[in-house]
A and B are shown apart, each in its own frame.
Chain A
Amino acid sequence: MRQNTLFEQHFWKDSNRSLDYYLQNMNGYQAAQKVLKEMNPDQVIEEVKKGNLRGRGGAGFPMGMKWGFIPKASEKPKYLVCNADESEPGTCKDRQIMRYTPHLLIEGLIIGSFAIGCKHSYIYIRGEYVNEAKLLNAAIEEAYEKGYLGKNILGSGFDLDITVHRGAGAYICGEETGLLNSLEGKRGEPRVKPPFPAVSGAFGCPTAVNNVESIANVPHLIRMGGDAFAQLGKIDKSGGTRLISLSGHVKKPGVYEIQAGSVTLRQIIEDIGGGIINDKKLKAVIPGGSSSPILTADEIDVVYDVEPLMKVGTMMGSAAIMVIHEDTDLVKLLLRITKFYAHESCGQCTPCREGCHWMESILHKILHGEAKPTDLDLLVDVAQNIGGKTLCALGDAAAGPVISFVKKFRPEFESYIKGQKRYA
């Protein structure tokens, strides 16, 4: 199922991150060479559009289209910012790209920068990834030394600098305008949109923000051509492969690569993940990071890609699958998820700031046997009053799990309220 992968075959070996390995085994910097010498920016964007490369950060937005929004006529500097804030709970795929194939990311940034007219690209990496930031800086230094970065790259006349900018522990900086504020030395509070970053992003200039995996796919796409890349995906509108972070109660947790839309969630859990630990029964799956609405064990015969998951009322998000077995207390788990959003809410929007804490406190009451029967509906009511009423998606991300957990596992919550179950 997973042969000839674009990424996975190069993972898990420290020596693979070197420039030598990249040049010898991964056709290193050939795509950049082709782009800088044989293509113009419009052709690059067209090729990426043809490849059906969707954003890998969570929203699944077509990448070529995003690049196309950058106004060419603008005389301001333009920025390509790589979102390496990877902080959606459950997600750890970008980390592997930065650890084992950092030059793929650098080459992707060269191609993307050429396409949108950027001369200085930033990689915004979450603060906790201290080691990954060091590895990236080492790879960037190698690239400068060999003329892949800096002035007149590969004799093409194109200049590019890359700077790694470390965050400092804030989930909200994964939201692109929160990230841009953080890059500018401010609190990572999301901005009012419009203007969108394509018009006014980093330092008030046109900016494209793309996820690590999205950018690292670009060299592959250019090398094999947009059509071939699109065909790697086995479903409409999703080209290439997807890196999934499979965690929780599976026998073989790990970061794996699948052709987009080629397998169902059940196949991922049973065939790739080896089934449930201790041969327990599956209870539920969080399919796309902790923000994605939960699925029951009966709902996993769904093709694992953006649209099929949307049809069953959840989302693929950052492709982080968390598998939950029968012994898990979902009331306790939902309290933990809600506590996370309450902690990470930036506090700008009242529904999110107050609502998240309110949900946390109701769930705490339920778990500790102090809730009234009406509190369960109150909990859902609060959640519904956050969703869609905030500047950024954090509010929706906090509300979705609450609404779906209660809807699908209501008796578990009720047994605490009725005093049939006590928190141990």
Chain B
Amino acid sequence: MEKHLSEKFYLAMKKLEPRYPNKKALILPALHQAQEEYGWLPKEVLEEIGTYIGVHPAQIREVASFYTMYNLKPVGKNHLKICTNVACCLRGADELMNFAEKKLGIKCGETTSDGMFSLSEEECLGACTTAPAMMANDEYIEELDVNKLNHFIEKMKVLKI
């Protein structure tokens, strides 16, 4: 079988193996590590993780599909996840979401045609006292307002990253 996951992936897993009483416990760490390499989790990658763990691929899909952070389809280079839960909502998250939709020309849940931006609604991020907040890929951006969000999107557009 053709390998899709890197040497780095297998090295990271080797290091983690002794820290758990069985290999199945490595499913979440393996999914995280694989997503870090691919940006999302294609079918072949899920299958390869299944082979590595020693379970049927369906079991990997069953787990992966339970958790919102695992992307089972490709996402934009910049995945903006705006929290719209209570604390952020009280501090203007709806306005931010409307602004982001207009600015990017997509609806929440969609990706721009150039693959640069995806926009999602996020449940509580645990940044309630610095609300409203969002995540841009792995990074928290807190005490947001429309200006700050606009500035961030512009910066990402210019940098093309």
Contact = CB atoms under 8 A, between A and B. Distances in A.
A301 B72 CA distance: 49
Contact of A168 (B67, B84, B85, B128): B67
A259 to B, nearest CB: 20
Interface string B113-127: 000000000011111
B19 interface: yes
B124 A185 contact: no
A182 B28 contact: yes
A77 B123 CA distance: 36
Interface residues of B, number: 41
A189 B63 CA distance: 10
Interface string A151-166: 0000000000101011
Contacts of A254: 129
Nearest to A128: B125
B29 interface: yes
A340 to B, nearest CB: 6
Contact of B128 (A182, A188, A245, A343): A245
Interface of B: 16, 19-22, 24-29, 31-32, 53, 62-63, 66-70, 84-87, 89-91, 123-131, 135, 138-140
Contacts of B124: 87-91, 171, 290, 340
A253 B31 CA distance: 36
Given A91-B128, A163-B19, 16 more contacts: A89-B86, A89-B124, A92-B128, A126-B126, A130-B139, A163-B20, A166-B32, A168-B69, A184-B24, A184-B25, A185-B26, A188-B66, A248-B87, A324-B90, A336-B85, A336-B89
A290 B139 CA distance: 25
A246 B138 CA distance: 25
27 contacts: A88-B124, A89-B87, A91-B124, A91-B128, A94-B126, A95-B126, A127-B32, A130-B139, A131-B140, A166-B28, A166-B32, A167-B28, A167-B67, A168-B69, A182-B28, A184-B25, A186-B24, A186-B63, A247-B128, A247-B131, A249-B90, A290-B124, A320-B128, A336-B84, A336-B85, A336-B89, A337-B86
Contacts of A394: none
A253 B135 contact: no
Contacts of A232: none
A224 B75 CA distance: 51
B128 A169 contact: no
Given A184-B25, A185-B27, A168 B123 contact: no
